[in-house]
Structure 1
Amino acid sequence: MEPVSLIVGAVLLGVGFLSGRLSRRTRAAAAPALPAPLCGCGHTLSQHDTETNTCYAELRRDTFDKRGRWSGHQWVPCTCRQYVGPRPIDEVFMPRLLPPSTD
């Protein structure tokens, strides 16, 4: 092969590589991911009871036998007592109307 075509091919390869690297960085910087609103226990508002604010999610814990050897996993309820994460804006200004309370 002639050296001119090798140089042209190398330049095209370099230009393609650099344009791919630069376009990936601008696309990632333009759209940052929104953080999920989480409670201190790591669960979302949908996993908390709206009236008592207690968490009804379950956590996976390791279990061990009497000799101290790992024996598997056990699902235990979350010990969170109140949702402390960000509140939806409609609950700040006006309490929920539905479902109606049975007094």
Structure 2
Amino acid sequence: MDPITLAVGGGLLLVGYVAGLLTRRKRQPKPLTADCGCGHSLAMHDQENGSCHAEVQRKDSYGKDGTYVGTTYAQCPCRQYVGPRPIEEFLAPKYLPPA
């Protein structure tokens, strides 16, 4: 190969690399969600006792005779919401009972 062809190829490679650096897209950050340790949001937890109302998928179930029963769902075993608290609870606490 002659040196001119190699120089043109290298120049095209360099131009493509610089164009890619200048026009690259920035990654969008994930939206922040207030998730508990179980992965569910505050909306899925009861405000009074803190239990989780969401359902989690259990492993595939099989009957006593070995036939496939299907996927079963059960209530989330989370007992209390441990995620970040909303700022409203700090700035404006509830003085009256909810009743």
- Do the structures match in fold with TM over 0.5? yes
- Alignment pair present for 1:11 and 2:11: yes
Which consecutive residues of structure 2, in runs of 5 or more, have no partner in the other structure? none
Alpha-carbon RMSD: 3.4
Give the aligned partner of residue 35 of structure 2.
Answer: 38
- Return the offset for 1:10: 5.8
Structure with more of its chain in helix, by fraction: 1
AA aligned to 2:51 is: T
- Return the offset for 1:91: 0.7
Which consecutive residues of structure 1, in runs of 5 or more, have no partner in the other structure? none
Identity of aligned residues (%): 46
AA aligned to 1:48 is: H
Give the aligned partner of residue 72 of structure 1.
Answer: 70
What TM-score results when the alignment is normalised by the length of structure 2? 0.66
SS in 1 for 2:24: helix
Paired residues, number: 96
Alpha-carbon displacement from aligned partner over 1:41-93 (angstroms, at most 9, x marks no partner):
11011111222221101111121222556532011111111111000111123
